[in-house]
Amino acid sequence: MRPAALLLAVLLLVPACSAPAPPARRAVPTRRVVRFDASSDFGRVLVVEEQGIRYLRFGAPGAEDQSAFDPARPDHEPLAYVRASLASLAYLPPRARVLMVGLGGGSFLRHARSLGPDLALEAVEVNPVVITAARRHLGLADRLGVTVHLGDGRRFLEAGGAAYDLIFLDAYDDVDYPRALGTREFFAAVRRRLSPAGVVIANLSPNHDARRADLVRTFRAAFPAGPCLSTPDAGNTLVLGGPAVDALPEAAIPARLRALDRRSGARYQLAAAWPRWCRFSLDGARVLTDATEARP
């Protein structure tokens, strides 16, 4: 037998040995740093930093993210629902007046300023500790020119005053929300504070399907028509309505969104994501009223 053939025969008779498995990769734990932790009349308020991004959370360091801010990239927005909500700016004229009910970390207003340098930006927030956290740790700098009113959002709207071209209702979360901000009477008060060409957007995000459907049904009692956007991964539901939505043809919105994308360098991808239609049923949903929802 030739040497080459002998070698081949030996190799065929030797049991195959599998290569040693690579060592298992250990999961790298997320490094969590608490930047801010203070009690308030409404519970514990925290700013927690994980992998360089700061999150506003209520109650505990591992609670749901209310806002997010990347100090290394302040123009980046980590939360999908905030990016999606910026589509509401497509309805606005220049030098519009904007009110946010529920400040959070002020992310929406921070990005709105970059997209609309001539906008008049305001917020109403009931918790002074949240305002402090936003200013110290979440990018709500004085240079943004945001006027923050300390007080109850519903009372602020019902007190009357100037009309707003955009009202963003962002006082809801996936577990609970102030019941007084989810009734037919409240949404009617919101409508009264809109300008004749105004738009309202509400982040109605409870994960409980029946409660979410009730909120959307109640919102539609005041604002019958308008887009409903969703962020499937995060579970947010964003509904829009108001005179601007009624008057502006839906076909005109994509061009306006493309203009906003050009202004922002396409960092929000608004045109590509429009519309994200909500896909849930309102069958059996109730219209919530002050009589059925206990006011604080």
Residue 210 has pLDDT above 90, yes or no: no
Domains and CATH numbers, the chain: 79-264 (3.40.50.150)
pLDDT at 25: 52
Question: What are the tens digits of pLDDT across the range 159-202?
Answer: 999 999 999 999 876 666 788 899 999 999 999 999 999 999 99
Residue 134 has pLDDT above 50, yes or no: yes
Q: How confident is the model at residue 14 (pLDDT cuts 50, 70, 90)?
A: very low
**CA–centroid distance for 147 within its chain:** 20
Q: Tell me the average pLDDT of the chain.
A: 87
Of 207 and 264, the structure prediction assigns the larger pLDDT to 264
Question: Which residues lie across from 99 on neighbouring strands?
Answer: 122, 167
Known catalytic residues?
A: 170
Q: How confident is the model at residue 148 (pLDDT cuts 50, 70, 90)?
A: very high
Q: How confident is the model at residue 277 (pLDDT cuts 50, 70, 90)?
A: confident
Of 61 and 281, the structure prediction assigns the larger pLDDT to 61
Please indicate, yes or no, whether the overall pTM of this predicted structure exceeds 0.75: yes
Greatest pairwise CA separation for the chain in angstroms: 104
Mean pLDDT lowest for which of 7-11, 31-35, 225-229, 234-238?
7-11
- In percent, the amount of the chain with pLDDT more than 70 equals 86
Residue 29 has pLDDT above 90, yes or no: no
pLDDT at 276: 73
Q: How confident is the model at residue 130 (pLDDT cuts 50, 70, 90)?
A: very high
Mean pLDDT lowest for which of 69-73, 138-142, 174-178, 282-286?
174-178
- In percent, the amount of the chain with pLDDT more than 90 equals 68
Q: What's the token pair of residue 203?
A: 């982040």
Q: How confident is the model at residue 8 (pLDDT cuts 50, 70, 90)?
A: very low
Residue 18 has pLDDT above 70, yes or no: no
SS (H, E, C) the chain: CCHHHHHHHHHHHCCCCCCCCCCCCCCCCCCEEEEEEECCCCCCEEEEEECCEEEEEECCCCCCCCEEECCCCCCCCCCHHHHHHHHHHHHCCCCCEEEEECCCCCHHHHHHHHHCCCCEEEEEECCHHHHHHHHHHCCCCHHHCEEEEECCHHHHHHCCCCCEEEEEECCCCCCCCCHHHCCHHHHHHHHHCEEEEEEEEEECCCCCHHHHHHHHHHHHHHCCCCCEEEECCCCEEEEEECHHHHHCCHHHHHHHHHHHHHHHCCCCCCCCCCCCECCCCCCCCCCCCCCCCCCC
Q: How confident is the model at residue 127 (pLDDT cuts 50, 70, 90)?
A: very high
pLDDT at 209: 75
